[in-house]
């Protein structure tokens, strides 16, 4: 497997329509990115894979889609108004801004100018709700999806009638006014999270914490992340966030080095306890089997969609020499690949194209399909390899006689011949989920 630079990934993403700089015709807008036709499919597939393993195949997790704007007291109760801040320094000469913990000494890493004293900077985006822009109308864009889950604990528990232990899962946008965004989509100010809050009985929290560490590592492994690029890092006591009893990061070896992909935390009863206190509502759980009432503890696996997407791209990128120079292959897990099948007529002659269009129409209701009839077949295979399409279906002159087509496998490059009436079943079998 090739080691790949961030520049190569950024350029592939731009060239093939995975990710574009946002507002590009206006010169871009710092650290904001738009997902193109292939990127949006990859992103949907990652979210689908997460939802499937965290919600669909389990009987102890239900979903939620809470709003981004929430009551401002939520962020006081959660501790974000007081504690969600980074120390920031400014360069007195070039005016560039840095996180104080990321620069050594008091000289600007950019121009060598003198830096200001460190000031605390709250990372939440502030906005105003309604026409009057005063203190009373301040609201925040949520900096994590988690709080939407905590404030809905009673609603979800009562309506779903789930008993502890159970979890609530959510995927959605979060916003942080990061001082130093960067490394492509690794750290941005607008991003998506996939979060599970798993509520357990106090005393069972440690066992569940370890359970979720293992589950989440396995999720990345099952989706093809190579073991040598994945590791678990336990936080030291000093490093723990204000709400956390224990935290570990799942880290991935990105082109810029090891960095956090997902955080798994034992949040204890901090969040439900604080929301009980600030809202005046009793957010506790009554265990009707033991007759006990308690505030559940929470284990939280919290992953970034965009970071996972970057990791899956870096992990999948491969190059190998071939007759034309270099063959670039994205060895994406087939369930993540943007297109599952490419339909390729061997030539542009009308009877072949006609049959190829029929095959395309046959497949479209079942799979994400792309169609390509330009340039040589070798070139077209390379184009599909480069975007990770697991299967190419080729329609050749013999297809007109035997009503069969060839399926080519991206990774083995092996080809099998399949009658057209059996094509949907064969591909469905090849593209079946394996949990
Ligand atoms: N609710 C807990 C929480 O939000 P976090 O470690 O701050 O924990 C969880 O964030 C995940 O969200 C991270 O592991 C990362 O994947 C993603 N994430 C956080 N900040 C991000 C940013 N600025 N850009 C992209 N992803 C980010």
Give tens-digit pLDDT for 100-122.
988 989 999 999 999 999 999 99
CA of 259 to the centre of ligand 1 (A): 11
- Six token digits for residue 403: 């009503």
Measured in Å, residue 300 CA sits from the centre of ligand 1 at 12
Q: 291-302, pLDDT tens digit by residue?
A: 999 999 999 999
Burial of 259 (0-12, 13-18, 19+ CB in 10 A): middle
CA 233 to chain centre: 19
Q: 327: CA distance to ligand 1 center in Å? A: 34
For ligand 1, atom 5, which residue shows the shortest CA distance?
263
Average pLDDT of the residues in 197-225 = 98
Residue 268 neighbours by CB distance under 10 Å: 19
Residue 190 neighbours by CB under 8 Å, 6+ apart: 32, 173, 174, 175
Secondary element (H or E) of residue 34:
strand 33-35
Show the tokens assigned to 325: 């120079």
**Any idea which of 10-24, 82-96, 198-212, 244-258 has the lowest mean pLDDT?**
82-96
Task: Return the ligand 1 atom nearest residue 176 CA.
Answer: 23
What CA–CA distance (Å, rounded) separates 171 from 142?
13
* Residue carrying the six token digits 């100010």: 189
Q: How many CB atoms lie within 10 A of CB 206?
A: 14
The pTM (predicted TM-score) of the whole model is 0.96
Name the band, by pLDDT with cuts 50, 70 and 90, for residue 2.
low
Per-residue pLDDT at 1: 62
Q: Is the pLDDT of residue 339 over 90?
A: yes
Lowest-confidence pick of 7-11, 106-110, 360-364: 106-110
Beta bridge partners of 330: 317
* Best residue among 190, 230, 260 to mutate for probing ligand 1, ranked by most atoms within 8 Å of CB: 260
Query: CB under 8 Å, gap of 24 or more: what pairs does 403-410 form?
Result: 405/359, 408/381, 410/329, 410/331, 410/384, 410/385
Tokens for 309, please give them.
């997407």
Distance CA 149, CA 432 (A): 32
pLDDT band at 75 (very low <50, low <70, confident <90, very high): very high
Mean pLDDT, range 165-182, rounded to an integer: 97
pLDDT at 44: 98
Of 304, 306, 309, which is best to mutate to test ligand 1, by the most ligand atoms within 8 angstroms of its C-beta?
304
Q: Is 307 in the pocket of ligand 1 (CB under 6 A)?
A: yes
Q: Is residue 304 in contact with ligand 1, taking CB distance under 6 Å? A: yes
Would you state the pLDDT for residue 241? Answer: 86
Of the candidates 100, 422, 144, the residue with the CA atom closest to the CA atom of residue 298 = 144
The Cα–Cα gap between 59 and 56 comes to 8
The answer, yes or no, to whether any atom of ligand 1 lies below 6 A from the CB of 410, is no
When pLDDT is cut at 50, 70 and 90, the band that residue 243 belongs to is confident
Mean residue pLDDT across the chain: 96
- Of 193, 160, 163, 161, the residue nearest 176 (C-alpha): 193
pLDDT tens figures, 128-166: 999 999 989 999 999 999 999 999 999 999 999 999 999
pLDDT of 382 higher than 70: yes
- Give the pLDDT score at 259: 98
pLDDT digits (tens, 9 = 90+) for 389-421: 999 999 999 999 999 999 999 999 999 999 999
From atom 9 of ligand 1, which residue's Cα is the shortest distance away? 302
Mean pLDDT across the stretch 274-296? 97
C-alpha span between 159 and 189 (Å, rounded): 34
User: Do 216 and 334 touch, CB atoms closer than 8 A?
Assistant: no
Task: Dig out the tokens for 82 from the structure.
Answer: 């007081």
Task: Give 64's DSSP letter.
Answer: -
What is the CA(170)–ligand 1 centre distance, in A? 14
In short, whether 260's Cβ falls inside 6 Å of ligand 1 is: yes
For range 257-263, the mean pLDDT? 98
């Amino acid at each position: 497997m090739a080691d790949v630079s961030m520049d190569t990934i950024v350029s592939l993403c731009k060239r093939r329509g995975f990710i574009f700089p946002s507002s590009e015709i206006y010169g871009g807008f710092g650290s904001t990115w738009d997902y193109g036709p292939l990127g949006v499919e990859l992103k949907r597939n990652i979210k689908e894979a997460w939802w499937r393993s965290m919600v669909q195949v389990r009987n102890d997790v239900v979903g939620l889609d809470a709003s981004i704007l929430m009551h401002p007291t939520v962020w006081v109760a959660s501790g974000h108004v007081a504690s969600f801040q980074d120390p920031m320094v400014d360069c007195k000469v070039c005016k560039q801004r840095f996180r104080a913990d990321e620069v050594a000494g008091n000289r600007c890493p950019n121009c060598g100018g003198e830096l200001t004293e460190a000031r605390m900077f709250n990372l939440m985006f502030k906005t105003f709700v309604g026409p009057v822009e005063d203190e009373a109308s301040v609201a925040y864009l949520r900096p994590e999806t988690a709080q939407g889950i905590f404030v809905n604990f009673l609603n979800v528990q009562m309506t779903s009638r789930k008993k502890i232990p159970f979890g609530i899962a959510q995927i959605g946008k979060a916003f942080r006014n990061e001082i130093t965004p960067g490394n492509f989509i690794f750290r941005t100010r607008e991003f998506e999270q996939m979060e599970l809050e798993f509520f357990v009985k106090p005393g069972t929290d440690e066992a569940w914490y370890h359970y979720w560490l293992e589950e989440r590592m396995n999720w990345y492994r099952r989706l093809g992340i190579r073991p040598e690029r994945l590791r678990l890092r336990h936080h030291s006591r000093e490093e723990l966030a204000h709400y956390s009893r224990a935290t570990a990061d799942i880290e991935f070896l990105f082109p810029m080095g090891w960095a956090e992909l997902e955080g798994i935390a034992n949040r204890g009863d901090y969040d439900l306890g604080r929301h009980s206190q600030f809202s005046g509502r009793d957010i506790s759980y009554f265990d009707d089997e033991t007759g006990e009432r308690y505030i559940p503890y929470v284990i939280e696996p919290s992953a970034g969609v965009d970071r996972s997407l970057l990791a899956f791209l870096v992990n999948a990128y491969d190059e190998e020499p071939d007759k034309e120079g270099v063959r670039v292959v994205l060895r994406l897990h087939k369930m993540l690949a943007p297109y599952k099948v490419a339909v390729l007529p061997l030539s542009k002659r009308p009877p072949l194209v006609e049959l190829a269009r029929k095959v395309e129409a046959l497949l479209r209701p079942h799979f994400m399909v792309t169609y390509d009839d330009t340039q040589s077949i070798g070139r077209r295979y390379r184009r599909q390899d480069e975007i990770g399409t697991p299967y190419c279906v080729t329609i050749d002159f013999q297809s007109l006689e035997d009503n069969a087509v060839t399926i080519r496998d991206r990774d083995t490059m092996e080809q099998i011949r399949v009658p057209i009436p059996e094509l949907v079943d064969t591909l469905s079998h090849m593209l079946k989920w394996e949990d």
